[in-house]
């Protein structure tokens, strides 16, 4: 029985994950190394709850109840009592492996350890633990409170019990599950990132302006957001990281990151979060 969830990482994804679990009645402990990041996460969750209340999707009284279910800690040992864990730190393999090694030593032996990784193989992440049968991928879409999909990825050793528990958890928070095999990029990013990368190549090669590339894809394929605007929203550093995982994982030149993407990341032009990407914010 899962009653409490530990979320590692209080960034945009981690705070969104904490939001949806707390809203559905779970006790949530949010861990981060930065107090200011934890404070920003709590403020962001509060603002998003208020936005939901104004739209009429939740009752005003639910805001306080939801926030009360979320506690925060700067010490990973503060998560030790949780039943289920979701890691949502930066998309960096070395960082994730270190987190899972530490988490394995901290969590109860029966606890399930999930990763919100968008591209790194779950089998590799599970290898950092002594409980690979209890490690699984649980990839939420951004923004978490709005997007309905959760990709669930089994590693080589993931047990049926771990998969069944995770599937039930996804259903309990009102999300839909898509099951992927453990290959780089899984389903969504295996299809999405090459499209974004190709849009960047189109800009790089002077085929069209950023505005016209996005207009073409929005109006021509009925996408709600153009690929370059979407890349800015995701973060160009994250897009590059996933593209690199695909390229390294498959050794196929079709996944080669566009040189313009690499150059922009090197220049610190990361999209919306830095104030400048393909557009200025």
Q: Is the peptide bond before 204 cis (omega within 30 degrees of 0)?
A: no
Candidate list 48, 115, 151, 197, residue with the active-site label = 151
**Residue 169 near residue 86, CB atoms below 8 Å:** no
Candidate list 19, 139, 180, 197, residue with the active-site label = 139
Q: Which helix (H) or strand (E) holds 5?
A: strand 4-8
36 tagged catalytic = no
**Cα 91 from Cα 82, distance rounded (Å):** 23
Candidate list 118, 119, 180, 197, residue with the active-site label = 118
204 tagged catalytic = no
DSSP 8-state class, residue 16: H
Candidate list 15, 115, 189, 197, residue with the active-site label = 189
- In sequence order, the β-bridge partners of residue 17 are none
**Residue 3 near residue 83, CB atoms below 8 Å:** yes
**Cα 18 from Cα 5, distance rounded (Å):** 8
48 tagged catalytic = no
DSSP 8-state class, residue 280: B
Residue for token digits 């259903």?
Answer: 171
**Cα 254 from Cα 134, distance rounded (Å):** 34
189 tagged catalytic = yes
DSSP 8-state class, residue 76: G
Cite the active site residues.
Answer: 118, 139, 151, 189
């Amino acid at each position: 029985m899962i009653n409490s969830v530990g979320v590692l990482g209080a960034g945009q994804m981690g705070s969104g994950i904490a939001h949806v679990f707390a809203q559905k009645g779970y006790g949530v402990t949010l861990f981060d190394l930065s107090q200011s990041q934890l404070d920003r996460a709590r403020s962001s969750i509060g603002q998003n709850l208020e936005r939901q209340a104004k739209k009429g999707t939740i009752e005003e009284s639910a805001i306080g109840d939801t926030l009360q279910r979320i506690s925060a800690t700067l010490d990973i040992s503060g998560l030790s009592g949780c039943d289920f864990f979701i890691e949502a730190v930066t998309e960096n393999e070395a960082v994730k492996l270190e987190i899972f090694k530490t988490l394995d030593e901290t969590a109860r032996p029966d606890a399930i350890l999930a990763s919100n990784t968008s591209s790194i193989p779950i089998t590799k992440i599970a290898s950092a633990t002594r409980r690979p049968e209890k490690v699984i991928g649980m990839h939420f879409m951004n923004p978490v409170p709005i997007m309905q999909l959760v990709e669930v990825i089994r590693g080589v050793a993931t047990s049926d019990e771990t998969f069944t528990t995770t599937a039930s958890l996804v259903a309990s928070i009102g999300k839909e599950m898509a099951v992927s095999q453990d290959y780089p990029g899984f389903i969504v990013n295996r299809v999405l990132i090459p499209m974004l990368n190709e849009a960047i190549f189109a800009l790089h090669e002077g085929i069209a302006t950023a505005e016209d590339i996005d207009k073409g894809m929005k109006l021509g394929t009925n996408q709600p957001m153009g690929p370059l605007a979407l890349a800015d929203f995701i973060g160009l550093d994250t897009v590059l990281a996933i593209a690199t995982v695909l390229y390294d994982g498959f050794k196929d030149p079709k996944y080669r990151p566009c040189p313009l993407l690499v150059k922009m990341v090197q220049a610190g032009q990361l999209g919306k979060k830095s104030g400048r990407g393909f557009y200025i914010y």
